[in-house]
Amino acid sequence: MKRNFATAILISIILALVLGFALTSITSISVSAQNASSKPVPRLPNGKPDFTGTWDHPRVADVTKDVKGRCVGETPGCSNIGSGELAFTPVGKSDNERKDKWDYGAHCMPWGYVRSYQTPFPHGYVHHQDRLVVLWEQDNAYHVVPTDGRPLPKDLDPTWRGTSVGHWEGDTLVIETAGFNGRTWIDTAEHPHSDQLKVVERMSMPDGDHINYELTMEDPKYYTKPIKNTRVFVRMKAGQELFEYSCAENNRCEGGNCAAADVQKQGK
């Protein structure tokens, strides 16, 4: 009886070891297959990730909300984790509640740095060892980011898209941008920002077809705490490029309602 009991225990141990080995092998095969199906991260000559390409991004009309599903160019897999409710300062709250907001974008003025990444159109990168060039289909705009680790200059001239510098933390590119003119919004939901806005982006590639993008905005004049979004960009198919986008200042068809120009009024 004792011998049968001991034999049963021994058989149980052997079966457990065999099952454990089988599960480990299956898991290893699954992970290996997953890794094999992912394209490798392209590299610059200095070994850092190369972001060059045409990228689809999520349509983030409101930075407070999540987005998941198809990207603006119909590529599947884009997403955004929103910030949730914004914490305004009294000055920021007053500006946010204004009833006379004027949509500069509808009048073909520059969309601004943050909002350009959230438009209904894709964007692209041209990457070199010492700089990253951002190309937005919206307004056919571009932005140059030196990536040699230089600090942000002091006393920046205020501009629509600010001034950017980048540095590497391992394989993550960190971009700092400041020097905004305060005339844009951080999204199409018309959340405002001041000229004290500072933006930090962290970009990394888990594989050759995706970018993990983390956006943090700080504006002590308008917000009491940072605003953070976490997004996934997806590489567009080979042959898909950015289209020409034309928008001329003095556009008179805001929201589809066209207003007559002064010269047209004089002709009546």
Q: CB 147: neighbour CB atoms within 10 A?
A: 22
Does some domain include residue 186? yes
Give me the domain span that covers residue 108.
Answer: 53-254
Does some domain include residue 25? no
3-state DSSP assignment of residue 253: coil
Matching residue, tokens 């806005």: 197
pLDDT over 80 at 254, yes or no: no
Q: What is the number of domains present in the chain?
A: 1
Q: In this prediction, what percent of the chain has a pLDDT beyond 90?
A: 74
Does some domain include residue 239? yes
Rounded average pLDDT over 163-173:
98
Sign of the C-alpha dihedral computed for residues 241, 188, 196 and 65 taken in this order: negative
End-to-end alpha-carbon separation of the chain, Å?
112
Does some domain include residue 261? no
Does some domain include residue 167? yes
Burial of 81 (0-12, 13-18, 19+ CB in 10 A): middle
Mean model confidence pLDDT for the chain: 87
Does some domain include residue 1? no
Rounded average pLDDT over 258-262:
64
Cβ–Cβ under 8 Å, residues 122 and 242:
yes
Q: In terms of pTM, does the model score above 0.85?
A: no
Does some domain include residue 263? no
Q: What is the pLDDT of residue 34?
A: 35
Q: What is the pLDDT of residue 246?
A: 85
Rounded average pLDDT over 241-266:
71
Does some domain include residue 5? no
Cβ–Cβ under 8 Å, residues 193 and 186:
yes
pLDDT over 50 at 19, yes or no: no
